A = this chain, B = another copy of it.
Amino acid sequence: MSGRRAIRLGMVGGGEGAFIGAVHRLAARMDGEFELVAGALSATPVKAKRSAAAIGLARSYADFRDMARDESARPDGIEAVAIVTPNHLHAPVARAFLAAGIHTICDKPLTATLAQARSLAAAARKSTAIFALTHNYTGYPLVRHARAMVAAGALGRLRVVQVEYTQDWLATRLEATGQKQAAWRTDPQRAGLGGALGDIGTHAFNLATYVSGLGVEALAADLSSFVPGRKLDDDARILLRLSGGARGMLWASQVAVGRENGLTLRLYGTKAGLEWRQEHPNHLTFTPLGEAPRTIARGSATTGPAAARVTRLPAGHPEGYLEAFANLYTEIARAIRARQAGKRVPRDVEFPGLEDGLAGMRFVATAVASSRAGGRWRKLAGPV
């Protein structure tokens, strides 16, 4: 808690039956940097109202456009908005708030389609407001330390990047049961081009490029829809060619029975290897060539400033997913406060934004195209 006034936050989406909305609220509140004061929690007015009441929200809107307009007009209106809707609404909602000069914190992936991504990018570039994308795994202290190690050359020149994100919650046709999360994530109209690819593949892609510092130049994808009747992929395996000659693999699956949130990154360079597992995020395995592998613990003397900045507890007292998510919110708060004070955003503030979102959408679109072309290699198009 900084001791300063909390930033007034609004939320679009995140009503009854939602998952990620509650995570955003908790993350925003954890360090006392944000205070949630307004919301359009559901597109269904009665559900919006009920959801708002359930969490004691001061101002509830039935329509996000009204919210953007009214809040920007109030002296005590929201300063930032969190967008936690299904993917297809990210672009229109974000555009509305960006146009109103309200800082925008958007869940991933950026949008449902590349066309939407382009329109949102144009809007974001015109706006004075900050645009942040919650690729929340970049908020883990040891992910930041891993990135710093790679950047400092601890691994030498990177050769291999292996990343995977595996789950099993869509191993059966859950969407047919009315489960809300499954329903929209398997619906091309709401989820967009990618299924597992968009939902968790973009996280894996983001993590791999964030930590490695490399771009993906080309890929060959083999997407599957294993569950009968499913329209989008529930399993994606992709070969990667990265900048600097590195090669890699990305596997995203929502049918890997027994896996929960198995996001794992492994990097191998000329001098060392590095491994991080989201399910055990407080330790990083560092394997210098010819030496004994080392276990680097979050909060210990063996991590550096990039991790220390976003660490709350000493080693051995585990931090988790919510702390990592909150780190992004707290970083975003620092950026907002700098803007509000007319200052530059401090150099060490770090959170994913528009370019990360665009890269993710190019990745999804290219992977879908490659797979449709029988798994042919495809270059990732340049900046949109």
Contacts and interface: CB of A to CB of B under 8 A. Distances in A.
Interface of A: 1-4, 19, 22-23, 25-26, 29-32, 36, 53-57, 155, 159-160, 162, 167-169, 171-172, 220, 222, 224, 226, 235, 237, 239, 241, 247-249, 251, 253, 255-262, 266, 268-273, 275, 278-282, 285-297, 300-302, 312-323, 374-377
A254 to B, nearest CB: 11
16 contacts: A3-B54, A32-B56, A172-B289, A237-B249, A239-B375, A258-B268, A258-B275, A259-B316, A261-B315, A262-B316, A279-B316, A280-B280, A282-B320, A291-B301, A292-B295, A292-B296
Contacts of A258: 268, 272-273, 275, 285-289, 293
A318 B316 contact: no
A300 B292 contact: yes
Contact of A292 (B169, B172, B297, B375): B297
A295 B297 contact: no
A300 to B, nearest CB: 7
Contacts of A302: 291-292
A304 to B, nearest CB: 12
For chain A, what secondary structure do more than half of its interface residues adopt (helix, strand, loop), or is it mixed? loop
B162 A251 contact: yes
B321 A317 contact: yes
Contacts of A321: 313, 317-319
Contacts of A273: 168, 256-259
Nearest to A172: B289
Contacts of A288: 257-258
Contact of A1 (B25, B162, B224): B25
Q: Count chain B CB atoms within 10 A of each CB in A256, A262, A273, A316 and give the residue with the most.
A: A316
B237 A256 contact: no
Given A1-B25, A1-B56, A237-B249, 7 more contacts: A155-B257, A168-B273, A237-B239, A256-B266, A261-B314, A262-B316, A280-B318
Contact of A160 (B155, B255, B294): B255
Q: Count chain B CB atoms within 10 A of each CB in A54, A255, A322 and give the residue with the most.
A: A322
Nearest to A4: B56
A339 to B, nearest CB: 20
Nearest to A249: B237
B260 A316 contact: yes
Contacts of A260: 297, 300, 314-317
A200 to B, nearest CB: 11
A3 B222 contact: no
A295 to B, nearest CB: 5
Q: Count chain B CB atoms within 10 A of each CB in A259, A268, A273 and give the residue with the most.
A: A268
Given A241-B222, A292-B302, A322-B319, A247 B271 contact: no
B168 A289 contact: yes
Nearest to A287: B258
Given A56-B2, A320-B318, A375-B239, A289 B171 contact: yes
Nearest to A289: B257
Contacts of A280: 280, 318
B312 A26 contact: yes
B249 A159 contact: no
A134 to B, nearest CB: 14
A25 B56 CA distance: 21
Contact of A320 (B57, B259, B319): B319
Q: Count chain B CB atoms within 10 A of each CB in A53, A155, A169, A292 and give the residue with the most.
A: A292
